[in-house]
Each structure stands twice: as C-alpha cells, then as structure tokens.
Chain A
Amino acid sequence: MPEEDKPVAPPSPPGAGQSGETPAAAAPPAPPKPAAPAKPPGPAPVPWESELVTRLKLQYGSAVAEASTYAGQHYLVVEKPILHDLLEILRDQDGYDYCVDVTAVHDPKREQPFALVYILYSFAHNTRVRVKTWIRDGESAPTVTDLWPTANWLEREVYDMFGIRFDGHPDLKRILLPDGWKGHPLRKDHSILQQDNEWVQINLGIESGQ
C-alpha cells in the first residue's frame, strides 16, 4: 500500500499535479523517477564537537565509534567494553545525574542486532545526551543500577521485551509480562499476533488463545 501512495509523497511543489499529466503521455515516467530520490535526503547527522567528545576520544580512542548531532540532539555510539566506565564518567565528571531512559532497538539485519540506548540528562547544564551501544544476540550488558537506581525497572523492561540480560542487576526478572511467559515481544522476529499459548491455556483457561 505505501508503494501505491508514492506519488502523494512529494507534496511541496504545489499545483504541479495538473501540468505533469501532459508530458507523461508522451514519455514513459522515467524523468520523474530521478526527481523522487532528490526529496528524501533529510538532514544527516553532523559530527558533534565539544570538549567532552575530545576528552572521551582521547581516553578511549576508537571505542568511541561516533559522536554526532541529529535534529539538535547529541548522541554517542560506543563499544560495549567501555560502556559502563563511560557512563560513570558522564555521571561523575560531566554532571549527567539523571538517567532518563534505558531502552533497546532490535535490528536483525546487523551482525550485532541489539542497540542499547541510554538517555541521560544533566540538571546542572540542562543538556541531554544519548549513549548507544550495539551488542550481539545472547550477549549480556553491564547493569547501570549501581550508577542510577532508576535503571532497575528500566533494565527489567528491556530484559522482558528483548531478552537482553544485564550482569549485576539485583533482581532481573520480567516486569510487564507474567513470570512464566515465553518469548520477548519487541524482538522483530516476534509477530504482533504471537503469544504464549501454553501460558494462556494453563493460567487463563482459554483453549485456542485469542
């Protein structure tokens, strides 16, 4: 269906629809096609240059894989081994005392399919930064509950939804789904209609699921 709607997508040239019809009859719709890709190039992330980034790059070298700004928001992509140390530095030295959110993104096309995203905020500087790290399927990540107690439930939710384990978490178990549930619903290979039929049958007494 989205393919059908494609002609609607470039709306900004107003009133161009009528005039376009006559040349279309004469020539095959080859010329409009190259025009279409000209639209999508949205703003690309620009490198984020700051004292913080230079310092971190100096300390960790290539383990800080990317430091960019997109839509006015700063983010860092780092490698897992330095993740905990880097977050600790951000908290203690750069004032990122508030961990807004811990979440994950599943991209099965990548070799390391899971991105862990930490959104941090500094009350002192009124700035936000996102720290992202990619991990392999089945790989665990270090917990940040020792840095921010708020990460406790947030990491439990990531575990519940993606099956990513956090080393050193005080109480890593499911939070939104029931304890005996099988499957991690926010993985891309988990269909939206899929559910743990066995659990539903035993605990709710519904034979066929829903």
Chain B
Amino acid sequence: MNDEKTARVLAPLPPETAAPNTFLDSNELIINMGPQHPATHGVLRVILRLDGEKVLGLECVIGYLHRGVEKIAENRTYAMFNPYVDRMDYVAAVSNGLGYCEAVEKLMHAEAPPRAKYIRVILTELNRIASHQLWLGTHALDIGAVTPLFYTFRDREEVLKIFEKYCGARLTTHAFRIGGCLYETYDGFEKEVRKFCDFVDPKIDEYEELLTTNRIWVERTRGVGVISGKDCIALGVTGPVLRASGVQWDLRKAQPYSAYPDFEFDIPTGQRGDTYDRYLVRMAEMRQSIRIIRQAVERIPEGPIMAKIPKVIKPPVGEVYHSIEAPKGELGYFIVSDGTTQPYRLRVRPPSFVNLQALELMVKGQLVADVVAVIGTLDIVLGEIDR
C-alpha cells in the first residue's frame, strides 16, 4: 500500500498533467515595490513581472501625492498660485518658480528687468547644483555607496544657506515674483556666491574621486538602463537623460530664456546612454552651472528688479506655452487666460512624469537590482509626477 503510494508520487507525471508551476521552474513572479520603499525616492509603486531575477515587464502606479495642483491654479489668482509651484519639484523649487513667472510674463507681454534676470539665473543655477547634489547622494546610496550622501548633503547646505539669506526659505523658496524679484540681493551676496563657487568646484572633484573610477560603481552603472537617443525622443525624455544618450539639446541654448543668451557654457553629452554616462553628464552640468554663476556674478547689472506691472495681474485673453530647462528636463507651463485674475486653465508639463515612462524600456531584460539604479538615474521627484 505504502509502496504503491510512494511509487505513484515518484513516478514522472505524464507530460500533459505535469504542473508547470513548481517552484523550481523559472516561472513568472509578480512582486510589488513600493509605495513605501527607500529606493523609490518618494511614494512610487512599481509592479514588477520577473523571471527569476530578470525583469520581464513592469507597471508604475503613481498618484499617491496627487494634490490637484492644476485645479488649484484655476481657483487662485496668478500671484496666489506662485508658491504652489515650489511644491511640485521641491528639490528644485527655484526652477519651478522661474518657469511659472516667465510663462505668466509672456502671457502679459511683460519682461523682467535685466538685474532681476541675472538674479534669477544665479539662483536657478545654484538650485541646479543643489538638485544634482541631492540626486547624486541618494542615487549613490541606492547602489550601495554610502559616503557620497554625506559629502553632497554637507555641500548642498551651502546653497541652502544662500537661499535662506536671500529670501528666508531653504527649500520652497518662492524666490521670484511675476515681473521680476521681490527681494534685492543682500549685502555681500556676490561675495558669498563667488565663495561658494570656489568652495564647490573642488568638492565636485571629490565626488568624482569617490565614484568615477570606483570599480563597484562602474560595474553597477555601466551598461545599465541603456536608452538610445531615438527612443528618448519618441518617449519625450528630456534633460540629462536625453543628453547622456548623445542628443545635444538644452533649452537654455536651443530656445534661450531669461538672461541665458549672455553666458558662455557647454552642453555636456554622453554616448552610451547608460547610467554611468548620465552620472558623468550631471557631474559636468554642475561644473557648467558654476561657470554660468561666475559669469553672472561678475556682470550683474544695476537697476530695478521689478518690471512695471499692474498690482492686480490680469493677462489679456490668450494662451501661451513656455518651458525652461529644469534640472530634470523640460518643464513647461501652458496657460490659458480668459482675461480675469485667475488662470482659466493651467497645465504643467512635468519632466519627471514623462521621463518615468521610459523606466519600462530601460529595465526590460535587466536584473531586478538594476531597477533601483535606473529609478535613481532618472532623477524623479514624485511631488512633480503626481502634482
């Protein structure tokens, strides 16, 4: 009896009845990553379909931070909505503010005075450095390099100190107003910005010393999350990700805004379009930002910082789209005015939202551990994705 049972169990099953789903087979496995996961940089949920450790496909579930920013805009005046834009990409609040103020100015057919433009460029580029520093620290931490986090956060603090001295806020700065800047620079602003440039330049070498030739770093990033320039364009991916794939395109050069035509700088690009190239591009971008800031501080003109615009902002009927090169890519505002004090419709084109779409293409066929690296290299901010 017992033997019979054993024989039955041990006998190979006829092929048609053999269950394909035994744990020894490499079957598909669905796992859930997030929304509470340290490597998703916020509340991103990724549902992964795996074959062993290989990623077969994934789906992003977003919207956990949705606050209805575009609906809020329709119910606030133009000036009242200004602080809300800082809360989208909260690590680059100044860039958000610049894009919004310039879009409304375009809608009003107004322009900020030259001095305001220079102050805007200085602060925006400082913010780009801070944003890239935060990205570098957290991205390296995800991959397993803990040290750069302390270095970058230590140095980012210096940027935040300048912001705090300039406008009283560190993160959600609300530094600019429609028509220019509210605050004049404080005493010694130029000196401090110059000092910061001299301070941070060797620090970037320091980060590179830790990572660029680090064997573990190179192994974890080279050839990971490759995307071609053609795919980037088809998927609407912009910013450092696009440039690392070999497309030399930067809105600051392609369609210059604010005071950017006055400055000399290069657009760093990569060739391979992998995580390592994106790292190199962002490191080079920080250096270019320093270059821009140095030129701007030397040449900052005297004069008013606010254009002559009405107290109550009532743009004429019309619609405009204005976009800037935010640290993450093309940040656009499409505003429809019906001639009242409130936007009729305000659409934000968030770079992180569009860039995140490329995640599936970039990790398909790669290992599950690389998903973490690729999420980091895309440099997403969930506050901007969910709005």
Contacts and interface: CB of A to CB of B under 8 A. Distances in A.
Q: Counting chain A CB atoms within 10 Å of each CB, which of B68, B107, B330 scores highest?
A: B68
B273 interface: no
Nearest to B349: A101
Interface in A1-42: 2, 5, 8-12, 40-42
A185 B311 contact: no
Interface string B224-247: 000000000111110000000001
Given A45-B318, A100-B236, A150-B357, A9 B71 contact: no
A11 B109 contact: no
Nearest to B345: A105
Interface string A127-143: 01010000000000000
B323 to A, nearest CB: 7
B204 interface: no
B317 interface: yes
Nearest to B108: A42
B360 to A, nearest CB: 10
Interface stretch (A54-62, A173-181, A201-209): A173-181
Contacts, number: 116
| Shortest Cβ-Cβ A-B pairs, 3 listed | A42-B316, A150-B236, A176-B63
Interface residues of B, number: 51
B70 A186 contact: yes
A175 B354 CA distance: 13
Contact of B235 (A119, A126, A150): A150
B55 interface: no
B63 A9 contact: no
Contacts of B254: 126
Contacts of B310: 8-11
Interface stretch (B147-155, B332-340, B365-373): B332-340
Nearest to B323: A100
A9 to B, nearest CB: 6
A41 to B, nearest CB: 8
A9 B334 contact: no
Interface string B328-352: 0010101010011100110101000
A106 interface: yes
A73 interface: yes
B233 A97 contact: yes
Contact of A100 (B66, B109, B349): B349
Given A40-B339, A176-B63, A186-B71, A98 B236 contact: yes
A149 B354 CA distance: 10
A8 B313 CA distance: 10
14 contacts: A2-B314, A40-B316, A43-B318, A70-B319, A100-B236, A100-B321, A100-B349, A149-B357, A154-B354, A161-B70, A174-B63, A186-B71, A190-B71, A192-B74
Contacts of A148: 234, 236
B71 A2 contact: no
A9 B312 contact: yes
A142 B205 CA distance: 51
Contact of A130 (B321, B340, B386): B321
Contacts of A48: none
